[in-house]
Structure 1
Amino acid sequence: MTTHHTITRGRIWAAEPVQTDDAILENTGHAWEEWADLIDAGPGRQAGHTAIAAWVHAEHAMDGWWAQGVTVGYERITGLRLPGQMPDGSFRVSRTRVLAIDRDVMRVLLLDEGARADLFPGFDLLLRSKPASKALRFTLARNGEALGSILFSTDLLPDGRLRLSVTHEKVASFDEGEQWKLFWADWLAAVEQSTTADGSA
C-alpha cells in the first residue's frame, strides 16, 4: 500500500486530516501536533475511537462534532485510520454522476432483477432495503464472495436531470477502495452512455 507521509515537527503523518491546521486551531484551540501529543499522553492510541472521542469531549469541552473530527484526524495522522476508513476498520468510497435519465426509470433498472443483472454482469446484488425506500441498499457479491454494501441515492435536479450517487461500504482495504473508486466511475459513465444510446432519457 502506498501512503504519502508528511513530516511535521518531527512527527511522521500517515495521512492528512480533513481539516487544515489553521481550521482545527481556530475551532478547538489546538493545532494537530498539539492534539496528537495530548491524546498520546491521555487515552493513547490503543484506547479506540469511542474512548478517544469521549475523552476529547469531556476533558477539552469539545462538542460532539468537533470531538469526532479531532479523533478522526488523530487516527489519520497516526495511521489508525486512512482516508475513507470507518471506525470498524473497513473503508467507504463514493462516486456521483449527473445523468439525463428519468429517476423512475433508474429505480426500475435497479429494482428489476433482470435489468440489474445486465447492469452488473458477473456480480450478484441482493436488495436489502424496502423497494419504496428513497435510497436503495444492496449487498454485493461475486462468486459467493461478499464485496460490501452498496447504497444508490437519486436526486432530481432543477433541469430535470438525475444525480446518481453510489456509496460502497464495507470495503476490505484502502487499496481495494481505490480500485472500487475507478470501477464506480467507469460504471456511472457506462450507465450514462447506455441510457443515452437506447433513448431511455
Structure 2
Amino acid sequence: MTKQSSFKRRIRKRMSQTGERYVVARAALIAQAQAASTKKRKWVSMPETSDQAILEATGRSWNEWCDLLESWPGHTQGHAKIAKYVQAEYEIGAWWAQSVTVGFERITGLRLPGQMSDGTFTANKSKTVSLDESWLRKLLLDPSERQDLFPGHETELRSKPSSKTIRLAMDDGIVLIGMTPEKDGRLKIAIQHTKLANSEDAQRWKFYWGEWLDAISDTSS
C-alpha cells in the first residue's frame, strides 16, 4: 500500500459526499488539516518529520494524529502496539505508521529526543577528519591503545576485528564507531552511543564525543 492511499480514500469519500472534483476535495481536506494544526497544543519536543510532510503523506497533521491517538485507550501501551494500531486502523504503510508513532510520542512526551523504544537513550556525533582509516582502526582494536584513546574509561571490544563498524562496551553503554572514506581523501567518523540511562547521560556523552572527535582530528595537524 502506498503512503498516499489512505489520503486518497478520504478524498474520494469526500467527493462522493459533496460532488466536488478531486482537486477541490483534496484542497478542502488539506485546509481542514492545516486549520486543525493551528489549534493550541503544547509540543513537548519536535518530531523528526515536519507537519507539512506528514500531512502530505498521510492526509493528517501532527495535531490531528495526536488527537486521534490520545482518544485511543491503548495509546500508553508502548511503541509497538501504537504503530500496529496506526497501520491497521488507518491503513497506512508500516514506514509511515512508525513515523506517526514516533512523532506522536515526541510531541506528547511519551518519548524524549534521543530516546529509543526500549526507554534507553542514544547520543550521536560525527565528523569528517584528515586521518587514515587503517591507522585509527588499528588503535581502536588494540586494548592497550584504547586506553590511550579513552583515558579514564573501561572498554571492551564487542565486534569482530573484520567488522565494518567497531562495537565497544564502555563503562556506560555501548558505542558503535563507523568509518567511511570520503572522495576527497578524508575520513568520516560516525559515533552512536547507545543504551544510556537518561537524557542527561546522552547530552554528557554527546559533548564528550564532540571533544573526542576534535582531539583525534588534531592528531593529523
Output the TM-score relative to the length of structure 2.
0.80
Alignment partner of 2:173: what SS? strand
> Structure 1, unaligned stretches of length 5 or more?
1-6, 142-146
> In 1, Cα distance between the equivalents of 2:38 and 2:139?
50
**1:6-47 Cα shifts (integer Å, max 9, x gaps):** x96232211111111111111011101110111112244312
Alpha-carbon distance between aligned partners in 2 of 1:44 and 1:37, rounded to the nearest angstrom: 13
- Counterparts of 1:72-91 in structure 2, within 5 Å, are 72-91=102-121
SS at match of 1:170: strand
Q: Does 1:185 align with 2:185?
A: no
Q: Which amino acid is the alignment partner of residue 35 of structure 1?
A: W
Which residue of 131, 134, 137 corresponds with 2:161?
131
Q: Which residue number corresponds to residue 194 of structure 2?
A: 169
Separation in 1 of the partners of 2:90 and 2:185? 48
C-alpha separation between the residues in 2 aligned to 1:73 and 1:83?
10
**TM-score when normalising by structure 1:** 0.88
Q: Does 1:95 align with 2:120?
A: no
Cα deviation for residue 177 of structure 1 reads 1.1
1:21-36 pair list within 5 angstroms: 21-36=51-66
Match of 1:56, SS state, is: helix
Q: Is the CA contact 1:148–1:171 (under 8 Å) kept in the aligned structure 2?
A: yes
* CA contact 1:43–1:51 (8 Å) conserved in 2: no
Matches of 2:38 and 2:121 in 1, distance apart?
26
Q: Which entry has the higher C-alpha Rg, 1 or 2?
A: 2
Provide closer, same or farther for how the CA distance between residues 44 and 10 of structure 1 changes in structure 2, counting only shifts above 3 A.
farther
In the alignment, the residues of structure 1 paired with residue 193 and residue 210 of structure 2 have an alpha-carbon distance, to the nearest angstrom, of 12
Equivalent residue, structure 2, for 1:108: 138
**What is the match of residue 50 of structure 1?**
80
Alignment: residue pair count: 185
Deviations 1:75-99 (Å, cap 9, x if unpaired)? Answer: 0011010111100111111111112
Alignment of 1:122-161 (within 5 A): 122-141=152-171, 147-161=172-186
1:13 counterpart SS class: coil
What is the one-letter code of the residue matched to 2:97? A
Unaligned stretches of 5+ residues in structure 2: 1-36
Q: Secondary structure at the match of 2:160?
A: coil
1:3 match: none
Q: Is the 8 A contact 1:43 1:52 kept in 2?
A: no
Which one has a larger percent strand, Structure 1 or Structure 2? 1
**Relative to structure 1, is the Cα distance of residues 8 and 121 closer, same or farther in structure 2, using a 3 angstrom cutoff?**
farther
Aligned to 1:144: none
Shift in Å, 1:73: 0.4
CA RMSD of aligned residues (A): 1.4
Identify the structure with bigger relative contact order (alpha carbons < 8 Å, sequence gap 6+).
1
